[in-house]
Amino acid sequence: MGTILGAYITKNGGRIDLVNHNFDHVRALKEKGAHVVGTVDFIQPVKAITPLEMAGTYNIIILFTKQMENEQIVRFLLPYLTPDGVIVTLQNGIPELLISHIVGADHVLGCTVAWGATLLEPGVSELTSDPDSLTFQLGSLSPLPNRHLQDVKDLLQLMGPVVIEDNFIGTRWTKLLINASFSGLSTALGCTFGDVIRPKDSRRVTLALIKECIEVARKGNIRFEPVQGKDVITLLDFNNPIKKSFAFAILPLAMRKHMRLKASMLQDIEKGKRCEIDAINGVVCSSGRELGVPTPLNDKVVDVIHRIERGELKPCRDNLQFFLPILKNQS
């Protein structure tokens, strides 16, 4: 995703360094440029470096790394951040809290994105969402004004529309709901978003995961924000059989632009890496425990994916067997 963002920013006249510890990827970007494929197709020369080649300081550092290593990475970046600079996290979950503890709340901005990507090979990244879904929602968990807010907005707008959100925690929870429901289950089942939504059995589990997220946020007095102008809570929340049937029917239409998307957690597992399940579904589970809201399906997503990481299971559709009994007990 960082490669695609950097390619768009550079393509549209912005200046940005792409920093990556994957030496083969950096070498390919230097030699051939960033090749963006999928729902678009273009090649863009970019400035790509490894962390060992970093020098000087930056007013804006955009963070796309995995959250498991946030503390180590943010502390590494501190010497490269100007005294009034800002770290912008485009990660999943709610990473602003930890980063603020390290650099200070007035040096942190958060941003959610409504598009996805897959690294196919060194230098080649696939955009898996429609080109008209390249949007950003920008904000902060801190009430303090940030002097670089407009600068960050201007930079990101070189790729797509940016909305500044006053209720950014609500924006974070909307994205968390999407990631926990679609990314979590699709990782457990080893498939794309579309392959989760089309079959009725896995769609029912997805809808129940969404409902758990809504109930946790509601108990925590979190007000969800729309995504790309769509109020997903009004569409997908339910408290009676008629609304539940409507939400079930509308789910494929609501996610039609992202059917090809493969969760970054699944990409990590396929590469033999740990994924950030504890920072996504795990946040829903821990918040539910604190608030007294049961989250059995999100708990099971976390359990199944940890078992996959330990080599006890493989990401495949057979794993749906662990979720259907929970769903049956709820009906």
Question: For position 331, what pLDDT does the model report?
Answer: 66
Q: How far apart are CA 307 and CA 253, in angstroms?
A: 32
Mean pLDDT of the region 134-154? 86
Question: For position 253, what pLDDT does the model report?
Answer: 86
Tell me, yes or no, if the pTM score tops 0.85: no
Residue 76: pLDDT above 80?
yes
Q: Which amino acid is at 222?
A: I
Question: For position 228, what pLDDT does the model report?
Answer: 67
Domain boundaries, the chain: 2-166, 170-330
**Do residues 308 and 189 make contact, with C-beta atoms less than 8 angstroms apart?**
no
Mean pLDDT of the region 172-183? 92
Question: For position 268, what pLDDT does the model report?
Answer: 92
How many of the other CB atoms lie within 10 Å of CB of 231? 13
State the chain's mean pLDDT as an integer: 93
**Do residues 305 and 275 make contact, with C-beta atoms less than 8 angstroms apart?**
yes
Residue 16: pLDDT above 70?
yes
Q: How confident is the model at residue 144 (pLDDT cuts 50, 70, 90)?
A: low
pLDDT per position as a tens digit, 271-328: 999 999 999 999 999 999 999 999 999 999 999 999 999 999 999 999 999 999 999 8
**Do residues 110 and 140 make contact, with C-beta atoms less than 8 angstroms apart?**
yes
Q: Which long-range contacts (CB under 8 A, 24 or more apart) does 311-315 make?
A: 314/190, 315/187, 315/188, 315/189, 315/190, 315/266, 315/269, 315/270
Superfamily designation of domain 2-166: NAD(P)-binding Rossmann-like Domain (3.40.50.720)
Question: For position 145, what pLDDT does the model report?
Answer: 58
Mean pLDDT of the region 166-189? 93
Question: For position 186, what pLDDT does the model report?
Answer: 96
pLDDT per position as a tens digit, 113-135: 989 899 999 999 999 999 988 99
Question: For position 236, what pLDDT does the model report?
Answer: 87
Mean pLDDT of the region 264-275? 92
Mean pLDDT of the region 21-50? 97
How many of the other CB atoms lie within 10 Å of CB of 42? 12
Domain 170-330 -> CATH class = mainly alpha
Residue 269: both structure tokens together: 């597992």
The 8-class DSSP code of residue 266 comes to H
Give the residue from 75, 74, 19, 24 showing the smallest Cα distance to 47: 19
